Amino acid sequence: MPRKTTKRLDQLPDMPNVFTPREMAARGGLAHCFDAQRPLVLELGCGRGETTVDMAAADPDRNYLGVDIKGARVHRGASAALERGVRNVAFLYSVVEQVALLACGEPIEEIWIRFPDPFPKPSKANRRLTSPRYLELYRRILAPGGRVHFKTDSETLFGYTLEVLDQEKARIHSIDENLADVAGSPAPLAIQSSYECKWRAEGRTIHYVCFSLK
């Protein structure tokens, strides 16, 4: 393991805005890891956390929780939040499945999923974050009418997602098969990670759908 990665992992336990599932459970759940109680938004598979921090900075009336299993990535997002003084954001260093165990009945207003691993092999379809088993997780933790926002540059994953949403009788609020220009969009949709900016510069097509499950 690279020395820089090891150093970041060693620092995680001392970061006030990073939690393991056990630490979060000891505090009482997802909503109790912030300095004030506000409506909660999740970003699953948040990677470096840059979009999680940017969304929180643009929306101080809600709390934002980024979830990722890669500790070195979580470290980067948490460090950026501390440096910028963004206090309504925290990170859960964990697999996504732990979220349902830690929700503790507290309604979540929105879920963001940006460019997850497409798991292209059919044998791994149940690992896709828009597979039926994950949609059932989202259904359990979202507030009534709560929305899921999904972005991907994988045409295959996007097509699969639309098929699953149809099977699950999800309500589609917005869909764009070529999200070409987000400059005039509301802040969360317009916010882009460095990877998305790079992919757009390469000419990749960005797909987007917003839906609710109940």
pLDDT score recorded for residue 92:
94
Q: Are strands 142-152 and 207-212 parallel, antiparallel or unpaired?
A: antiparallel
In the block, residue with structure tokens 């805005």: 17
Average pLDDT over residues 83-97: 95
Which of 14, 117, 176, 181 is catalytic? The answer is 117
For this structure, is 117 an active site residue?
yes
Indicate the SS3 state at residue 207.
Answer: strand
pLDDT tens track for 28-85:
888 888 989 999 999 999 999 999 999 999 999 999 999 999 888 899 999 999 999 9
Give the C-alpha separation, 116 to 183, whole Å.
Answer: 23
Q: In this model, does residue 185 exceed pLDDT 80?
A: no
**What mean pLDDT comes out for the span 90-106?**
89
The predicted structure's pLDDT at residue 189: 83
184: how many CB neighbours lie within 10 A of its CB?
7
Task: Give the residue among 156, 205, 207, 200 at the shortest CA–CA distance from 177.
Answer: 207
> Could you tell me if 191 and 54 are in contact, meaning their C-beta atoms sit under 8 angstroms apart?
yes
pLDDT at position 186, please? 65
Query: Could you read off the pLDDT of 99-151 as tens digits, one per residue?
Result: 988 887 778 999 999 999 999 999 999 999 999 999 999 999 999 999 999 99
| Residue ranges per structural domain of the chain | 3-212
CATH 3.30.430.20 describes domain 3-212: no
The pTM of the full predicted model, rounded to 2 decimals, is 0.93
